[in-house]
Structure 1
């Protein structure tokens, strides 16, 4: 969300959540190109100006709706390398493979490739939310002797996201099942495990 959205009177988080929920539902139904602030406002029970005060553009709103900042964060109770990697893969699959994720991701990628400043801003937003937590978890794993201490966090995230995205495009969401998740987890864990 923009700094301007944070200024002024306190934000009503109920409006935020209603808008994000409406965005997820509508982008799954109509796709990114046909998604409008007016339709989102109607479904969320708010106004277009209220949405525009909170999000700088449709890309900003859809990015936040589809990719929450905790997308790469495993559940707090997970304390085992394999379980942590699996939790991250499942979270990513839940976002990218959801009906709204499948409809929004290609259009968002196109917008990001066409606008470098937007790409930097939105990619930074997503990474900022999960990078610190994921780095801490990988450091804990290294301290337990499960994984190498020199794991490239960016490469780890790119492998999970990129592989998940390509698998959904090439195989279809239904084929990206538990066996697929197990296979990807095996590859990642084998790559970062202490030898």
Structure 2
């Protein structure tokens, strides 16, 4: 775990991220809040590209909780069987769709607690939905952010909750809305797990990663 970077260094890092990509976007395809919840729930232990392939046809016919219930679990499985843990995920999608219809009039709630009450929706999924759909500066910490935060010193922490808190505490507020997208994309395409591309990294001179010069 790298030491915590200071305020000025973190501001410079996110200034560079912003200049390189002013409006970073999540890579999961969706058409409304409901399909975003489903897509994020399906993405656990799966790639965004794999989820997008599976949901391309699914969301054309089931883009609301009621339509998903009408489709049914077995038909849903046929759409998502290329995704890991597809049977359990299908059960959760049907259950959360039923709960949305019965408890929320078919609408996706916009509170973290309500979102986390949905089957298959944890804190990370809730934060993604709050951020991407409602533009709330929630920080969804995945493996890419956890790795980048601890390598770089931007937001080190012993677990994902500690990293989430470090993001909220350490990153200047004017970067909070897009912070997790910048870090996810940087972790996914540059600060990779096995072979980080330090030679082409735009924050190489500011990062605390010990192995960046090897």
TM above 0.5: no
Structure with higher helix content: 1
Q: What TM-score do the two structures reach when normalised by structure 2?
A: 0.28
Q: What TM-score do the two structures reach when normalised by structure 1?
A: 0.30
